[in-house]
Amino acid sequence: MSVAKVIVDVPAQQTNRPFDYRIPAHLQDVIKPGMRVVVPFGPRKVQGFVIDIVENSQFPKLREIYEPMDIEPILNKELLELADWLTEQTLCYKITAFQVMLPPALKAKYEKKLKLKDRHLLKKLPESLQAFFNDRDTISWEEVVKSGELSHFQKQVANDVLEVLYIVKERVKKKKIKMIAPAISRVELMSRKEELSKRSSKQISVMDYFLSHPEPIERKELLTKLGITSSVIKGLIDKEILHETMEEIYRDPYGDRTFKQTMPLDLTEEQSAAIRPILQTISEQIHEVFLLYGVTGSGKTEIYLQSIQKVLQEGKEGIVLVPEISLTPQMVNRFKSRFGDEVAVLHSGLSVGEKYDEWRKIQRKEVRVVVGARSAIFAPFENLGIIIIDEEHETSYKQEDNPRYHARDVAIERAKNYRCPVILGSATPSLETFARAKKGVYKLLTLSKRMNEHNLPTVDIVDMREELREGNRSMFSRLLYDKIQDRLEKKEQTVLFLNKRGHSSFVMCRDCGYVIQCPNCDISLTYHRFSQQMKCHYCGFEAVVPTICPECSSEHIRYFGTGTQKVEEELGKNFPEAKVIRMDVDTTSRKGAHEKLLNAFQEGKADILLGTQMIAKGLDFPNITLVGVLSADTMLHLPDFRSSEKTFQLLTQVAGRAGRHELAGEVVIQTYTPEHYSIILAGEQDFDGFYQQEMMIRKIHQYPPFYYLALVTVSHEELMKVIDVTEKISKLLSSRLSHGARILGPVACPIPRINNKYRYQCIVKYKREPKLTETLNMILDHYQQESTNGGLQITIDNNPYLLM
């Protein structure tokens, strides 16, 4: 008897372990670890993942697996094991760990079919299967399951004769092309041709074509090949000699673009010194983590490219992670141009189907490099030779949802398994990473010079309080104003950066100061000019802007704050002749809009590019000579111990946009706190100075990298309940952890109410706590019952990046 160990898709503490199922005789050779199956669970039918197959079970009465959901494993052995690690690290359920590794298409509703890859292959099928495909190319999964021939089908998939199609039911229109093929047999084709009058020479040429090429051809191609119009084909279709079908094609998002092949550049001395140890770990198959520390433009990407090249030569594969926001076409182009069709791209701009297509290319080993955002770290490669994480300090590498993993940790864990290097690249590494590099845990590689030896831009820090004192009420300081004016005259380009986090527009009464709040959350509503509405960014609540103040009935109610739209208006007033391109969530939400706007700016169609975070990265245009930061400190005051670090990183990055080419660059940083070290040191582009200062502060306040953090958040509709539970949790933690651990709380979260649920938290600071995971699991265990019934919600984040 064979028994499958199955993790069922019932995310709960009690079901977070494998269940044994008997594999029925006809599925004996079919079921493999890494496949999904349908199993009975209580009175229900549920999905599950097979994690292992064993001979015997300790349980006498086992239920049987109903049917497989996949014809081949969708998770390999390494990923199955990685799920164990992920579960332990992030305290998530096993099933959650499996799900996060799969492309969303496999979680969505889809229809599954088996397709004969090519009609010529029909004869290759065993006779028992041929019958299924005699008159068609695809059959439904239901037929496959009912056939009792599953193992035969499976073999043919392995032989590449059949393939599995997942047809996702998505609203996004799938890309289809029109195919033309003969509707009749060859013999009939010949006789029908004889019947045609000699005057239909065009139609005859089409039939001649199909007599020598019977396979389907794309309509467009046929038209150009034979130099005919579509009416000729239509005539033949009407005569039922040809037929037209719609065929879905690979939704390759970059497929219609051509990439000019680039060759490896001769490395500079600094680059050679940096890449040498990396290449060595590749050829000697040693696991090592490198921090490639170098300012923007110092040639890090070229090192990534040449390291990957080496990996490909060794017959291995590589993963490159890039923050979502800088996964720009420019970035993708650099990898596509070097490695061509070997590259798959995964980012959130793709439709579910497109993502699935890219994932499938990886799984079928059609590509050997993937460039993608966070979740690409789970790319199902089986022979990894390198993992690269660019801009490693970016917080978007942390998933803020279960499983709350950090891609950097996953990368290191996978690389250990494959005995291959990880490269973390950054101009402003996270404090945690830099501290590890200094201690020798990671190997530090430094690029100190910008490639083109151009000087870093000069930076001016402007005190906006001073401006106000001297009567300047505008959002542009006099210095910035003059410089913008100067660039307009010289026809050079300016980038204006608005740090929007925590600074969005809100609606306030000028008479009584009342700010309109979300009725469900303790947070002000954000004003959207385009729709004339106010929205809550936490719960989605929407309302129209009132004409009178709900508090004092004054009519002087208006929106405040400097959203990008407001800045755009002000620019129009101050520089009426300037052409402005605005880039923010509103103008870039449509697919491809981001790229269009950037291209327009690059082509000189505007003088000023105005935008939020998303313009901080990857812009590399020769004509940008001025960068203005409108308000540097909006992020400094967030209740987050990383706010100085984030401010420093962002300012350094923005400043790096200016003067990357022949023209010298200037940067103006406007701030209300010019004395803050993160602003001064960002102005000097002094990472080492910042590191020293910030480490001191982290040490005093016992924050990472000196201490680890764990965050427990409790939420419920009743405030008393929330406080009570958080209190109990804090007490339990105190009693079970060592004296070295510090437990802060219970305290209200910085956002104390979201969607009508009150929120309290407690933070654990610790250095080494062997009992922590066990205790946190105990807490989850204990409260899970209530969470399903009473709406009590407990989330635990080991190593949180958001303390809100």
User: For binding to ligand ADP (CB under 6 A), which residues are involved?
Assistant: 265-268, 271, 294, 296-302, 451
The entry of ligand ADP, Zn ion, none near residue 514 (CB within 5 to 8 angstroms by kind) is Zn ion
Q: At closest approach, how far in Å is the CB of 554 from Zn ion?
A: 4
**DSSP H/E element including 573:** helix 564-574
CA distance 410 to 400: 15
745 φψ region: left (φ > 0), alpha (ψ -120 to 50), beta (else): left
Q: Which residues, numbered 493-532, are part of the site for Zn ion (CB under 5 A)?
A: 509, 511-512, 514, 518, 520-521
Q: At closest approach, how far in Å is the CB of 338 from ligand ADP?
A: 11
Burial class, 784, CB count within 10 angstroms (exposed 0-12 / middle 13-18 / buried 19+): middle
Count the residues of the shown chain that bind Zn ion, applying the rule CB under 5 A: 15
Per-residue binding string, Zn ion, 535-574, x by CB under 5 A, is -x-xx-x-------x-xx-x--------------------
The entry of Zn ion, ligand ADP, none near residue 297 (CB within 5 to 8 angstroms by kind) is ligand ADP
For Zn ion, the closer CB: 550 or 622: 550
The entry of Zn ion, ligand ADP, none near residue 472 (CB within 5 to 8 angstroms by kind) is none
According to DSSP, the β-strands at 217-218 and 162-168 are unpaired
Give how far the C-alpha of residue 339 lies from the chain's centroid of Cα atoms, to the nearest Å: 21
For ligand ADP, the closer CB: 268 or 399: 268
The entry of Zn ion, ligand ADP, none near residue 552 (CB within 5 to 8 angstroms by kind) is Zn ion
Q: At closest approach, how far in Å is the CB of 717 from Zn ion?
A: 14
Q: At closest approach, how far in Å is the CB of 654 from ligand ADP?
A: 14
Q: At closest approach, how far in Å is the CB of 516 from Zn ion?
A: 10
The entry of Zn ion, ligand ADP, none near residue 12 (CB within 5 to 8 angstroms by kind) is none
For Zn ion, the closer CB: 511 or 586: 511
For ligand ADP, the closer CB: 18 or 299: 299
At 131 the three-state DSSP class reads helix
Per-residue binding string, Zn ion, 457-496, x by CB under 5 A, is ----------------------------------------
Are the beta carbons of 26 and 148 closer than 8 angstroms?
yes
At 754 the three-state DSSP class reads strand
Residues 6+ apart with CB under 8 A from 228: 202, 205, 206, 222
The entry of ligand ADP, Zn ion, none near residue 560 (CB within 5 to 8 angstroms by kind) is none
At 456 the three-state DSSP class reads coil
The entry of ligand ADP, Zn ion, none near residue 266 (CB within 5 to 8 angstroms by kind) is ligand ADP
For ligand ADP, the closer CB: 261 or 738: 261
The entry of Zn ion, ligand ADP, none near residue 298 (CB within 5 to 8 angstroms by kind) is ligand ADP
Q: At closest approach, how far in Å is the CB of 297 from ligand ADP?
A: 4
Q: Identify the residue whose tokens are 């959203």.
A: 563
CA distance 93 to 520: 30
The entry of Zn ion, ligand ADP, none near residue 294 (CB within 5 to 8 angstroms by kind) is ligand ADP
Count of Cβ atoms closer than 10 Å to residue 531 Cβ: 11
The entry of Zn ion, ligand ADP, none near residue 586 (CB within 5 to 8 angstroms by kind) is none
The entry of Zn ion, ligand ADP, none near residue 538 (CB within 5 to 8 angstroms by kind) is Zn ion
For ligand ADP, the closer CB: 244 or 686: 686
Q: At closest approach, how far in Å is the CB of 673 from ligand ADP?
A: 29
Are the beta carbons of 285 and 419 closer than 8 angstroms?
yes
The entry of ligand ADP, Zn ion, none near residue 230 (CB within 5 to 8 angstroms by kind) is none
Q: At closest approach, how far in Å is the CB of 298 from ligand ADP?
A: 4
Are the beta carbons of 177 and 218 closer than 8 angstroms?
yes
For Zn ion, the closer CB: 510 or 591: 510
Q: At closest approach, how far in Å is the CB of 623 from ligand ADP?
A: 15
The entry of ligand ADP, Zn ion, none near residue 330 (CB within 5 to 8 angstroms by kind) is none
For ligand ADP, the closer CB: 149 or 302: 302
Percent helix / strand / coil, the chain, rounded to 5: 40, 25, 40
Nearest of 264, 298, 278 to residue 387 by alpha carbon: 278
For ligand ADP, the closer CB: 403 or 659: 659
For Zn ion, the closer CB: 514 or 707: 514
At 532 the three-state DSSP class reads coil
For ligand ADP, the closer CB: 427 or 475: 427
For Zn ion, the closer CB: 56 or 547: 547
Q: At closest approach, how far in Å is the CB of 751 from Zn ion?
A: 10
For Zn ion, the closer CB: 513 or 622: 513
Secondary structure of 385-452 in the HEC alphabet? EEEEEECCCCHHHECCCCCCCEHHHHHHHHHHHHCCCEEEEECCCCHHHHHHHHHCCCEEEEECCCCC
Q: Report the sign of the C-alpha dihedral through residues 214, 218, 220, 225, in that order.
A: negative
Are the beta carbons of 296 and 284 closer than 8 angstroms?
no
Radius of gyration, CA atoms only, the chain: 30
The entry of Zn ion, ligand ADP, none near residue 267 (CB within 5 to 8 angstroms by kind) is ligand ADP
Q: At closest approach, how far in Å is the CB of 521 from Zn ion?
A: 3
CA distance 379 to 356: 11
The entry of Zn ion, ligand ADP, none near residue 233 (CB within 5 to 8 angstroms by kind) is none
Q: At closest approach, how far in Å is the CB of 724 from Zn ion?
A: 24
Q: At closest approach, how far in Å is the CB of 600 from ligand ADP?
A: 21
The entry of ligand ADP, Zn ion, none near residue 271 (CB within 5 to 8 angstroms by kind) is ligand ADP
CA distance 698 to 690: 12
Q: At closest approach, how far in Å is the CB of 757 from Zn ion?
A: 11
For ligand ADP, the closer CB: 299 or 628: 299
- CA count, 13 A, side-chain hemisphere, 481: 16
For ligand ADP, the closer CB: 166 or 304: 304
CA distance 6 to 11: 13
Q: At closest approach, how far in Å is the CB of 569 from ligand ADP?
A: 34
CA distance 579 to 607: 5
Q: At closest approach, how far in Å is the CB of 368 from ligand ADP?
A: 21
* Interface segment toward Zn ion; rule CB under 5 A; list 384-392, 450-458, 491-499, 534-542: 534-542
Nearest of 505, 507, 499 to residue 563 by alpha carbon: 505
For Zn ion, the closer CB: 451 or 518: 518
300-313 and 269-284 helices, crossing angle to 10°? 30
Are the beta carbons of 361 and 317 closer than 8 angstroms?
no
Count of Cβ atoms closer than 10 Å to residue 522 Cβ: 16
CA distance 364 to 361: 5
Q: At closest approach, how far in Å is the CB of 427 from ligand ADP?
A: 7
DSSP 238-270: HTTSEEEEEEE----TTTTS------PPPPPHH
For ligand ADP, the closer CB: 322 or 794: 322
CA distance 93 to 114: 32
CA distance 803 to 713: 9
The entry of ligand ADP, Zn ion, none near residue 539 (CB within 5 to 8 angstroms by kind) is Zn ion
CA distance 278 to 635: 36
Identify whether 24 is preceded by a cis peptide bond (ω within 30 of 0): no
Q: Which residues bind Zn ion (CB under 5 A)?
A: 509, 511-512, 514, 518, 520-521, 536, 538-539, 541, 549, 551-552, 554
